[in-house]
Chains A and B, each alone.
Chain A
Amino acid sequence: MIRFENVTKRFPDGTEALKDVSLVMPAHQLTVIIGPSGCGKTTLMKMINKLEKPSNGKIYIDEQPITDLDEVQLRRSIGYVIQRIGLFPHMTIADNASLVPKLLGWPKEKKDARIRELLELTGLSPDTYMERYPLELSGGQQQRVGVVRALAGDPNIVLMDEPFSALDPISREQLQDELRNLQQTIHKTIVFVTHDMDEALKIADTIIVMKEGQVEQVGTPQQLIDEPANEFVRNFIGIERIRQKRAFGDKKLKEFIHLFDTEWQGEAQTIPADSTINEAFHQLEKNPSHRLAVTAGDRVIGYASGRDLLKAALLKEEEVAQ
């Protein structure tokens, strides 16, 4: 868990990037910090690995103040992915990815096994890519390596600074999906900065909305859409999106069967396919980790997660019609 306590950041020219921010980023969750440019979101994130230092206030990781920690050691224990990727062009993919394990002094076998495992996880075949150089890869592939590099030292916390915004729309969508899937395996505490609300709604467990150095609202994607705290948040999410979501709330589950998984091993509660989306949300609220087994008669026709429902609600009319 990362906790900010009355953190203020004043730059030498007098501008205040952060004004008395207090918040908590829960462990093992993906927290997205979002806001217009200049709102202080990147500054906030960079304070976690001491790339920026607060002018006032304190930051705790698992209740330990980070001022007690050596900055080099701290950074080696935190994964870091940046927008401009920043792979080292003179090193092979394997060398790039194994940088932090090397700094940590891992033995070679452990290092290699770890890199192979992570490359597999991100869909890059180790045998093909390990000995290649960054400039031989596409942007999307490079950023996958960027993610592998961040995860290589097995950090508990991973910071991601607009990691997908420099990519083309298709790669971006792919990497968002992959990150979501990856997170379900690795359960890291991820702090993800973006200015793209679609991205935030898609991947976040918790969203922190910021404006001019202050936190406007903290909540789940669902909460943000249902109960935006103020006019700014409402506008930032987009009136259109909220309206769509409301209208969709009354639609029936059976219209969205194609979005749901057909198999599910975990816990599930049954719900008739005739129920509305709103009813489904309501039922899920009590046990967000469960899935809904959507039934038609006695037969289960699909398993829906809260995220699937949200996706359904955010889909455009024409996409549903198809």
Chain B
Amino acid sequence: MTEFKAFSKMKELMTNYYIEAKTTKEKPIAWITSGAPVEFLFAMDIIPIYPENYAAMCAANHQSIELMEAAEAAGFSQDICAYARTDFGAAMTQGGPAGGLPPPHFLLCSTNICKTVIKWYEVLARNYNVPLFIVDTPFLHNGLTKDLIDYTVTQFIALESFLGNFLGRPFDRDRLTKVLSLSREAADYWKKILYLGKTIPSPFNSLDSFIHLGPIVTLRGTRECVDYYKLLYEEVAERAQKKIGSISEERYRVLWDNLPIWFKMRRLERFFEEKKCTLVVTTYANSWGGLSNFQANEMNDPYELFAASYLNVYINWGFENRIKYLSQLIDDFSLTGFIMHSNRSCKPYSVGMYCLQGEVSKLTGKPGVIIEADQNDPRVYSDAQVETRLEAFIESMEPVS
């Protein structure tokens, strides 16, 4: 991991957030998916809790296997998302770091990241006997259309009433407007940080972005989140300006598609450093930066703007747009190749990968490799198999000129 002074600030921020969530008596707790419109919660002083982040934490701490086994013993199939299994297991056994998550008062999920979340959150709703609100964000087969935006906006309005009724006080739209602007400001800093990766050598690598992802996922919409990424941005910008790379020698620059392999972060970091290969950019970390893509002046209605941002995430796109975007990143970041993680847990992210690989290679002339792994389940991972494929891929790349 590249050392950043801001890192200690992030630890503090995340620790305070978890402590507040675990100890609060006044604020309600809502469990929420990583791609859901969390701004509505901050506007009403509700603390968001992310089972996905927690599951990733369990895997990074090498605790996911026992939790998944508990869920599997209760009847959940090994074929469903390992995040879901890890969380079910953590709830059943009270296992996992920090003694588990504070129980939810209600649940909010959005289908822009996958459709598994519907069933996952229905299980949670049953287990905790709490209400569930689903924001249905249709898949963008052919790009963003007015109909899809309108459809999503109607759900935001419904979400407002749901929250008003649940809390017994009217929804605060003025507050939401302020939260939204903070959210976009944070997303904008995040994107600017990630795009500093265009510098050769890259001052920041994707493994760093996975580590520094916490606040933009959980706390976007708060002032603290903006302040943190501003701080990190200044630090990364300084490195970029001084041409300090994230690894000692950068011969290869690659893109990483799909989620991290949380339980292999350290080993892969060493592996790539040894091979003089920087993971420069990822479609995954970029997703939260994309939330600032639409400018406020493009759409007058903040709800439409908001709907467009939440619909328009990479994993909710059709193949043509994915191919264009991947190819664009490879060109813009001067990459020498790309790695696609075929993630057993995340089908919507992994479907069609062989076709994508072929098309992107054809368009960019750069080699790509597909590795079979999982974001959270070490039992379906083989070091030797993955590393042989990665090494062969690195051998086949032309180094940066």
Same assembly: no
Residue numbers of A with Cβ under 8 A of B are none
Give B contacts to A, CB under 8 Å: none
